[in-house]
Structure 1
Amino acid sequence: MDPEMDSALLQTHVFSYAELEEATNKFDASDKLGDGGFCTVYKGKLQDGRTVAVKRLYENNYRRVEQFMNEIQILSRLRHQRLVILYGCTSHQSRELLLVYEFVSNGTLAHHLHGSRESQCILTWPMRLRIAIETADALAYLHAVNPPVIHRDVKTNNILLDSNFHVKVADFGLSRLIPKDVTHISTAPQGTPGYLDPEYHQCFQLTDKSDVYSFGVVLFELITSKPAVDMTRNRSEINLANMAITRIQRGELEQLVDAALGYQSDEVTRKMITMVAEVAFRCLQSDGDMRPPIKEVLEVLQAIESDGNRPEKKEHGVAESRDDAELLKNTEPFSPDSVMNRWTSRSTTPQASE
């Protein structure tokens, strides 16, 4: 075993298998929180009274051990209010590989947008924008730490919501640390269909812009309430990213937006959604170099939220919003590699086109 991984394990509380079996009532099906591609997650209660989520990895083989240790290695060195807390794990030599996290009570963002909780609580536009900002904040932290971390599986199923609908980004099994002064890692593509960066898929080069692409898909899920992949949609629209790019190029943003968000009835909301759609469009550029860094995305989203909350904007929203609301509609069809004309870059190198 890698000495650095052993060190990470030493920094993490190690639970016995029996302790976690008891906490989950012998992994009772009634305590199941969800299934993933490589695991099942159960709700449990530790002897000290803490309610936890216990991830049970399928198959104790080399690849699962690698993912298990990878998650421990990364989460043991990170501390951020928007990242899920890892409480501990079993030994990698245990009969089963188990990871223990804080319990995040409101489930996944995917469940609220287009899953089992969709009808329980409608996420309003202000709530969705705040979720986008908090997710971008978590990713900006990951990309800024030393060494930087690429999550590599950003999706609405990995964005958890607490009792107040604040974000906790989860699942670091596929994440990678980027060595200092290295721009990318050459590795076989891994991730989730619908969210996977096409440049990474084609060139086998993983960069921080791969997370930006995936986040762009999440933004369009927040705007549309549609899943990233839906086999029941028309063939050309099975992939939400392709659907969004095509509709925006045709000036059909209105047809994308979830009707429950007030896009047609409230001019301030209309302007904010239009601007977030532009951010998402930039994130989905097929050329990674054309995508903004996540820090810039975060700053723009924060500015959109702040601008939309100003009292004078709410009073004069109709008059002030029309130009921006028409921005995408008036744009001639263009290549996905192009840049939205009114994007104001907040990077150190001025790139504004106006």
Structure 2
Amino acid sequence: MSGSVVAIAGGVAGALLIAAALISLMWFCRSKHPRNRNSETGSSDPSALAEWNRGGPSGSTARISGPRQFSLEELEQATKQFDDSNLIGYGSFGSVYKGLLRDGTVVAIKRRPGTPRLEFIAEVSYLLEIRHRTLVTLLGYCIESGFQMLVFEYLPNGSISNHLYYGMLSLILYGTKFHFSYLHISLAVLTETGQDPPIKLEFKRRISIALDAATGLYHLHSLKPPLLHRSFKTSNVLVDENFIAKVSDAGLSRLLERIEEAGPSSQTSATAFQDPEAGVSGIFSEMSDVYSFGVFLLELVTGVPAPDAESLGPHRNLMQWVESRQKSNNLVDRRLLGTFTSEGIRDFIRLALLCIVLPGIKRPKMDMIVLELERIREKEMALTTFMGEGTAIITPGSELFT
């Protein structure tokens, strides 16, 4: 199996270059500090914030007037004057710093050059009102000294990318062509978390992570009007200390479109997660997010980054990539062996393929995806409880769809 993993590396090198720049972005975007609306929120009031940091009563809310505007002095103090030692990543919104607020709240601060604009404040005010237990919480903003800054809650276990791709670091040591920045960022992430190796992600845990992420996207799509993520990917799924997953960067693509000098940074370049139809038409829809979610499911199954269009070549698509791995019995992450049932893994893969089917009109909506993942998880829990962990029959990849 190790030989097959090395073989995959060449096919996914292109995807890794893109995943690299994003692994640290979502990794560190978390703190503990809320506002008003929906489940599991709090407020900018210190007492409410303290309760949030203690875990707080589920579903607690507090009403405040307007978004919280942090002062530059407060954020400089939190990051030691934005010292490089607190720089934890880069993303579409610029540099990301880990900070410690005066009240003890750990936050992730995203900073980019930009002048004060009404569009920025209006959009941030809208995003601050979106609250859900499966979404990374935006706490507030700051616009001073020629910078636009966003303050997010910080999650200690970082992105799922780090936990899935951890084993890929070994490929670098074997001479695979990886960009140096991927090595640098990945090692920085591992140092930051102190996890070596990351927590094992058995199949049932991956189902739960997928369900949390699907619930987050479903919440965005259920808003009126719906909010499209447009940049959903594995590195945008973060996990807290209990490995509860949350979707990060919801609304950032929309925000970047509305502020000056958004430029190419606001438009995600073509990656494995981009819906081919949206790439051609330039029109994004809920089905575009569904496609991205399907690629996320495939990465949860394979444990490796999905290849982008350039890596696949002119006459192949992601569906064919999956089929080729099935035929070579190299589809399922070897770290999953002994933790799943054949029926469970088959249903999970089928759902992933349904999410990336073309044309997009044939894809399920997020509410149906949530229901299906709940069904798969419940059935998998029941079967493995009855059979015992590790006793599942492993079906070869080539037989999964017969």
Alpha-carbon displacement from aligned partner over 1:260-291 (angstroms, at most 9, x marks no partner) = 101xx45x433212211110101101211011
SS in structure 2 at match of 1:256: coil
CA distance in 2, matches of 1:112, 1:242: 26
Relative to structure 1, the CA distance from residue 288 to residue 69 in structure 2 (aligned partners, 3 Å threshold; closer, same or farther) is: farther
Relative to structure 1, the CA distance from residue 67 to residue 245 in structure 2 (aligned partners, 3 Å threshold; closer, same or farther) is: farther
Alpha-carbon displacement from aligned partner over 1:179-232 (angstroms, at most 9, x marks no partner) = xxxxxxxxxx9335111111111112211111000001111111111113479x
Alpha-carbon displacement from aligned partner over 1:276-322 (angstroms, at most 9, x marks no partner) = 11101011012110111011011001100001111587439999989
Q: Cα offset for 1:46? A: 1.0
Asked if 2 retains the 8 angstrom alpha-carbon contact of 1:134 and 1:166, the reply is yes
The list of structure 1 runs, each at least 4 consecutive aligned residues, that deviate by more than 6 angstroms after superposition, is 316-327
What residue is the counterpart of 2:267 in the other structure? Answer: 190
What residue is the counterpart of 2:133 in the other structure? Answer: 81
Alpha-carbon displacement from aligned partner over 1:228-273 (angstroms, at most 9, x marks no partner) = 3479xx943799x9345433378538412111101xx45x433212
Asked if 1 retains the 8 angstrom alpha-carbon contact of 2:136 and 2:152, the reply is yes
Relative to structure 1, the CA distance from residue 225 to residue 175 in structure 2 (aligned partners, 3 Å threshold; closer, same or farther) is: farther
SS in structure 2 at match of 1:87: strand
More helix as a share of residues: 2
* Structure with greater contact order relative to length (CA < 8 Å, sep ≥ 6): 2
User: What are the ranges of 5 or more consecutive residues in structure 2 without an aligned counterpart?
Assistant: 1-64, 167-185, 191-195, 256-265
SS in structure 2 at match of 1:90: strand
The question of 1:246 aligning with 2:321 is answered yes
How many residues are aligned here?
A: 300
CA distance in 1, matches of 2:121, 2:390: 53
How high is the TM-score relative to the length of structure 2? Answer: 0.66
What residue is the counterpart of 2:154 in the other structure? Answer: 103
The question of 1:271 aligning with 2:377 is answered no
2:245 partner amino acid? V
CA distance in 1, matches of 2:219, 2:390: 36
One of 137, 148, 155 as aligned partner of 2:233: 155
One of 52, 60, 72 as aligned partner of 2:114: 60
The question of 1:296 aligning with 2:372 is answered no
One of 214, 221, 228 as aligned partner of 1:143: 221
Relative to structure 1, the CA distance from residue 12 to residue 244 in structure 2 (aligned partners, 3 Å threshold; closer, same or farther) is: same
Relative to structure 1, the CA distance from residue 317 to residue 53 in structure 2 (aligned partners, 3 Å threshold; closer, same or farther) is: closer
1:80 partner amino acid? H
Higher mean C-alpha displacement, 242-251 vs 306-315: 242-251
The question of 1:315 aligning with 2:397 is answered no
User: What are the ranges of 5 or more consecutive residues in structure 1 without an aligned counterpart?
Assistant: 1-9, 177-188, 331-354
Q: Cα offset for 1:100? A: 0.8
User: Map of 1:102-251 to 2, 5 A cutoff?
Assistant: 102-115=153-166, 116=186, 117=190, 119-171=197-249, 172-175=251-254, 190-192=267-269, 193-229=271-307, 235-236=311-312, 242-248=317-323, 251=326
CA distance in 2, matches of 1:55, 1:301: 33
CA distance in 2, matches of 1:238, 1:25: 49
SS in structure 2 at match of 1:13: coil
Asked if 2 retains the 8 angstrom alpha-carbon contact of 1:17 and 1:96, the reply is no
CA distance in 2, matches of 1:317, 1:151: 36
What residue is the counterpart of 2:78 in the other structure? Answer: 23
Q: Cα offset for 1:66? A: 9.0
Higher mean C-alpha displacement, 310-319 vs 207-216: 310-319
Relative to structure 1, the CA distance from residue 309 to residue 202 in structure 2 (aligned partners, 3 Å threshold; closer, same or farther) is: same
Q: Percent identity?
A: 33
Asked if 1 retains the 8 angstrom alpha-carbon contact of 2:297 and 2:349, the reply is yes
Q: Cα offset for 1:104? A: 1.0
Asked if 1 retains the 8 angstrom alpha-carbon contact of 2:115 and 2:146, the reply is no
One of 34, 38, 41 as aligned partner of 2:96: 41
CA distance in 1, matches of 2:118, 2:200: 38
CA distance in 2, matches of 1:66, 1:276: 44
Q: Cα offset for 1:29? A: 1.6
